[in-house]
A and B are shown apart, each in its own frame.
Chain A
Amino acid sequence: MLAVSIITFTMLRVLPGQDPAILMAGQNARPEDVEAIHKSLGLDRPIAVQYLEWTSDVLRGDLGTTYFGRQDILEEVKRRLPASAELVLLSLSISVVVGVTFGVISAVKRNTPIDYVVRLFAVMGQSVPDFFLLILLIVIPWTFWNYSAPIGGSRTLWEDPMHNIRMYLPPALILGIGGAAGIMRLQRTTMLEVLRSDYVRTARAKGLSGTGVIIRHAFRNTLTPLVTTIGTSFTLVFAGSVVAETVMGIDGVGVFFIQSALQRDFPVIQFLVLYTAVVVVIVNLIVDLSYAYIDPRVRYR
């Protein structure tokens, strides 16, 4: 986390073409105007001093204000976070449900037409970029039914369920199905491996039903690699949500990040990079801890 914050902080200030003061001052600005902006933003001081001050502020919960709108960054993130969280969690849920279900079906029905269809969709899901599918998601209903995804801001499920579902479900389906492709392929492979193992053959020989064998014996043993993949999928869905927010006009953290990056709004970029790193670390931690719950052998060690 420390390394991420230092690298981000330094790169923003050292790489060429990154000076927000020039953007703020406009193309005809005089050097003294740019200098004045540097001073007002505190960018005229040594980078180490700037970094220590920023770190100290962040640790105290003060994320500062945006350069361009003087908006309170913490308030802005808090306002936007529910929208992003709903989109990411909904997408991830769809990824897991669709990926696991069809992965299992594909393994059980291996080398049948069902398997071929599922695998074909898995390959397509992995190869077609999200932004293209998102555009289709707008264009197809618009062309055939004059239907539009809602615009004008987010509303929670409790405020306006229909608006909420219309706004989040379609992009979540796109992101989710894209993420499901990887899960599905992995689930199929591991399931096939488990289905060929001795204990599954033994269970069947004991007379257990096919479904019982698959769910109670085979599926449980595929959970460890599955959870690892879900952790990876989370980061992919998280990244994809930035595109979805931008295309669908969802007022989330991803849009905030993109706007800030384009404007060289350093405090926002610094915080959101750090925030992303924290989220990824937490997700990985949860994945690691879940191994112990899923696999008793890990717990006994």
Chain B
Amino acid sequence: MARINDEFMRQRITRRRLLQGAGGTALGAAAIATVGCGGGGSSGGARTPGSTAPAEGTPKLGGILKQRQQVGYPNFNPFGPGIGALVQGLFVGFALYDHLFYVPTDTGEVIPFLGTEFEIAEDGRDVTVTMGEAVFWDKPPVNGRDVRASDVVASYERFKEQIPLGFSWLQEVLDSIEARDERTVVFRQNRPWAWFFTASNAGSPISSSIIPQEIVGDDDALDSDPIGSGKWMLAGHDSGQNVKLRKFPNWREPGRPYLEGVDYLYAPDNTLAQSAFSAKDIDTITGLNSRELEDLESRFGDEIVTSGDLQRDYRCLMLKNEPPFDDPEVRRGINLALNRDEIRQVLNLGDGELAGPLPPAHTAFVLDEDDPDLQEYFRFDPAESRQVLEAAGFPFDQEITLKYSNFSDAPDLAEAVAQQLRVVGINVKLPGAEDIISWLSNTLGPGDFQMTSFTHLAYEDPSLPLSFYVPPNFMGYDDPEVTAAFEKAAATLDMAERVEATKDAQRVIIQKMSPMLNLYSAVNYSARWDYLKGVITGRGSFGLFNSGAWLDK
């Protein structure tokens, strides 16, 4: 068995080394909700990204961090029911349960948590993870016992059987998972899968949550009385709202977290949350636009620390691969008619980055800004658009329907896209917003559309956004070259080579003008009071890296 030939793995990083090095800073710093990362030149005001906490003095122990809770959790069960798995699974995955490792998208670096060493077989299939020492919370029936490899196995097996969100790696690539001994877990994949370290988390720490064997099959316990080995213990809540977390004194990192606890205060309304932040009823605020941020900065000046976070979700226009959109030249004409900058301005005050086939938050894998293919993808030229469409015989007299849902700003997005397409003479019909459930089940799911515009979910694994161009997909699109490029990237274990393979796949998608035309990802802003220290900004840090946050008051 050889070491994994990934860039990270070549460094043979163990947790000890990580704690001594830059990664240690990342682990030691915190970002509970104040995740932040700006981007490149087209970000329209995004702040400088950073992943390292500045020196802020000696941490003080204790104190309760107060944060906003925007939605109530139906329960605390990562297995659902249903879509609830996503809602509460993210929360418990970040806050209550531990993981073997995690890959923040801003760095793409594998951060060991309970896992200390990782080996991958030469054929790229088996991955062996050696675990460090940790204990569960001291509650019956687990009673503070050691975390074992068999707990990891039991957790993954239930996720593999039950998670309802279509995490394809679990169902299609993972053959089995076994405990070689109490400290060693072996993942057996049916083919080499280069995205293992992100896919095995299903793109987020839901399905990698380590749950004790005693309760992993007990939904009653998971619903209301979870037991984990994470840094925070569930101390109370009002039916899933106003969640209170308290420090787990025996967490695997002695002395951490510095805070005594985190109180989440339920505030569904954005305006209410901003007023609560101004009154210091909560210590952080996220999801601000640039005007709201400027307002806070003008009122509180140096009392607050702000950052910009390039979102991982992205807006797109999807075309059905049927006449007239089965012609790549027609799709090219449509693409030339799209003024992405204008749409970004209308919907997000200009804050965001244009999205190629891969959303820009996947920084390590996206095409360079000056890449000729990407520049061509972003080019806006309505006159040329008209010429291309005319040359391709586009039926300008035919009414083309653009379907959309009523979810969030989807109607605004559809209206903006329709207006731009009308400029070049396309007869776009907006049939009215569909209920989101109806749109999912009747329009997107079965591919019953000519055009549809929407915002994709946030995907941490670059393979997920690219997989939409590979059959089966909503567009009915099947191009062997695109599929081959996608599969080549997935099978390339070496990180540097995989980055190149991923970029090649994006170039193929652009050259083929595949029928999902991505538009942009937005930037949202965050602020925190300056007495909250030890915070790092950086996408992907979420609640997993919050052990070094402390309150200087």
Contact surface of A with B, Cβ cutoff 8 Å: 16-29, 33, 37, 66-71, 76, 79, 135, 138-139, 141-142, 146-153, 246-249, 251, 255, 259, 264
Nearest opposing residue in chain A for B265, CB measure: A152
Closest to B219 in A: A70
The answer, among A16, A29, A153, for a CB contact under 8 Å with B266, is A153
Q: Is the pair B82, A24 in contact by a Cβ cutoff of 8 Å? A: yes
Q: Mark B259-291, 1 if CB is under 8 A from A, else 0.
A: 000010111110111111011011000000000
Q: Within the assembled complex, what's the spacing in Å between the Cα atoms of A153 and B169? A: 40
| B425 in the interface (beta carbon within 8 A) | no
Q: With A and B bound together, what is the CA distance between A264 and B445 in angstroms?
A: 19
- Taking the complex as formed, is B240 at the interface, i.e. its CB lies under 8 A from any CB of chain A? yes
Quick check: B83 and A69 within 8 Å, CB to CB? Answer: no
B239 in the interface, Cβ–Cβ < 8 Å?
yes
Chain B residues within an 8 Å CB radius of A251: 238-239, 241, 266
Q: A23-B82, A246-B268, A264-B437 are in contact. Are A142 and B278 (CB under 8 A)?
A: yes
Residue ID in chain A nearest B71 by CB atoms: A259
Q: Which residue of A lies closest to B241 (CB)?
A: A251
Q: Which residues of B contact A151 (CB under 8 A)?
A: 68, 265-267, 272-273, 276, 281-282
| Known contacts A151-B266, A152-B242; A139 and B275 CB within 8 A of each other | yes
Name the distance in Å between A213's Cβ and chain B's nearest Cβ: 48
Cβ of B93 within 8 Å of any chain A Cβ, yes or no, is no
| Interface stretch of the complex, out of B72-80, B185-193, B345-353 | B72-80
Closest 4 CB pairs of A and B: A24-B82, A69-B74, A17-B438, A28-B166
Question: Using a CB-CB cutoff of 8 Å, which residues 507-537 of chain B contact chain A?
Answer: none
Are B269 and A246 in contact, CB atoms less than 8 angstroms apart? yes
List the B side residues contacting A70 at CB < 8 Å: 74-75, 77, 81, 219, 223
Which of B75, B275, B299 lies in contact with A149, CB distance below 8 A? B275
Q: Is the CB of A142 within 8 A of B223?
A: no
Contact A71 B269 (CB under 8 A): no
Minimum C-beta distance from A192 to chain B (A): 41
Residue of A nearest to B434 (CB): A17
Question: B435 contacts the other chain (Cβ, under 8 Å)?
Answer: yes
* B507 to A: closest C-beta gap in Å: 27
Question: Which of these, B72, B276, B434, contacts A259 with CB under 8 Å?
Answer: B72
Residues of B close to A76: CB separation below 8 A: 239
A30 to B276, CA, bound (A): 43
Chain A residues, Cβ within 8 Å of B241: 153, 251
Q: Which of B57-89 contact A (CB under 8 A)?
A: 68, 72-75, 77, 80-84, 86
A76-B239, A152-B263 known; A248 and B269 CB under 8 Å? yes
Q: Decide: B239 and A27 in contact? CB cutoff 8 A.
A: no
A to B CB contacts below 8 Å, 9 in the list: A24-B82, A68-B84, A69-B74, A142-B275, A148-B279, A149-B275, A151-B265, A248-B272, A249-B266
Q: Which residues of A contact B271 (CB under 8 A)?
A: 135, 138-139, 142, 247
Chain B residues lying within 8 Å of A37, measured Cβ to Cβ, are 81-82
Residue A24 contacts which of B164, B240, B444 (CB distance < 8 angstroms)?
B164
Per the bound structure, the CA–CA distance linking A138 and B272 in Å amounts to 6
Q: How distant is the Cα of A25 from the Cα of B274 in the complex, in angstroms?
A: 34
Cα–Cα distance between A24 and B281 once the two chains are bound (Å): 34
A247 and B270 alpha carbons, distance in the complex (Å)? 9
* Of A17, A138, A152, the contact of B275 (CB 8 Å cutoff): A138
Contact B83 A148 (CB under 8 A): no
**A27 adjacent to B444 (CB under 8 Å):** yes
Query: Which B residues are CB-close (under 8 A) to A152?
Result: 242, 263, 265-266, 281
CA distance A149 to B75 in the complex (A): 27
A98 and B124 CA atoms in complex are apart in Å by 76
Since A71-B74, A151-B266 are in contact, a sample of 7 more A-B pairs with Cβ atoms closer than 8 Å, ordered by chain A residue number, is A17-B435, A23-B82, A24-B164, A27-B441, A249-B272, A255-B268, A259-B72
- The reply to whether B239 and A79 form a contact with Cβ atoms under 8 Å apart is yes
Q: Interface residue count for B (Cβ, 8 Å)? A: 48
Residues of A within 8 A of B164 (CB): 24-26, 29, 33
Asked if B19 is an interface residue, CB under 8 A from chain A, the answer is no
Instruction: Note all chain B residues with C-beta closer than 8 A to A247.
Output: 269, 271-272
| B42 is an interface residue with CB less than 8 A from chain A | no
Residues of chain A contacted by B83 (CB below 8 angstroms): 23-26, 68
Contact A28 B269 (CB under 8 A): no
Residue numbers in B under 8 Å from A135 (CB-CB): 271
Contacts A17-B438, A26-B82; A249 near B268 (Cβ below 8 A): yes
Q: If the complex has contacts A148-B276, A150-B281, A249-B269, are A26 and B72 also in contact, measured as CB distance less than 8 A?
A: no
Q: For the complex, what is the distance from the CA of A139 to the CA of B273, rounded to whole Å?
A: 11
CB nearest neighbor in B for A259 = B72
Q: How far is the CA of A68 from the CA of B68 in the complex (A)?
A: 22
In the complex, A69→B240 CA distance in Å?
9
Task: Give bound CA distance, A177 to B74, whole Å.
Answer: 35
Q: Please name the residue on chain B nearest to A30 by beta carbon.
A: B166
* B442–A16 touching, CB < 8 Å: yes
Q: Which residues of chain A come closer than 8 Å to B242, judged between CB atoms?
A: 152-153
Min Cβ gap A161→B in Å is 18
List A contacts of B266 (CB < 8 A). Answer: 151-153, 249, 251
Chain A residue contacts of B268, Cβ below 8 A: 246, 249, 255
B221 on interface, CB distance cutoff 8 Å: no
Which partner residue on chain A sits nearest B82 by CB separation?
A24
Q: Are A19 and B276 in contact (CB under 8 A)?
A: no
Nearest residue in A to B74 (C-beta to C-beta)? A69
The distance in angstroms between the C-alpha atoms of A17 and B219, with both chains bound, is: 29
The CA-CA distance from A246 to B272 in the complex, in Å, is 10
Tell me if B238 and A24 are in contact (CB < 8 A).
no
Q: How far is the CB of B445 from chain A (nearest CB, A)?
A: 6
Shortest A65–chain B CB gap in Å is 10
B165 CB within 8 Å of chain A: yes
Given the complex of chains A and B, what is the CA–CA distance between A183 and B232 in angstroms? 53
By beta carbon, the residue of chain A nearest B281 is A148
**Contacting pair B81 A26 (CB below 8 A):** no
Q: Is B440 engaged at the interface, CB distance under 8 Å to the other chain?
A: yes
Instruction: Given A16-B442, A26-B165, A251-B266, answer yes or no on A67-B437 (Cβ-Cβ < 8 Å).
Output: no
Q: Which of B77, B166, B276, B437 has the most CB of A within 10 A?
A: B437
* Residues A142 and B74 in contact, CB atoms below 8 Å apart: no
Find the A residue at minimum CB distance from B264.
A152
CB distance from A95 to the nearest CB of B (A): 24
Determine the distance from Cα of A19 to Cα of B166 in the docked complex, in whole angstroms. Answer: 19
**Most interface-central of B81, B240, B263 (chain A CB within 10 A):** B81
Q: How far is the CA of A251 from the CA of B440 in the complex (A)?
A: 29
Q: Could you tell me the distance between the alpha carbons of A139 and B77 in the complex, rounded to whole angstroms? A: 36
With CB as the reference atom, state the residue of chain A lying closest to B72: A259
In residues 265-323 of chain B, which contact A (Cβ within 8 Å)?
265-269, 271-276, 278-279, 281-282, 299
* A contact residues around B440 at 8 Å (CB): 22-23, 27
A-contacting residues, B110-158, CB 8 Å: none
A-chain residues with CB within 8 Å of residue B239 when the two chains form the complex: 69, 71, 76, 79, 251
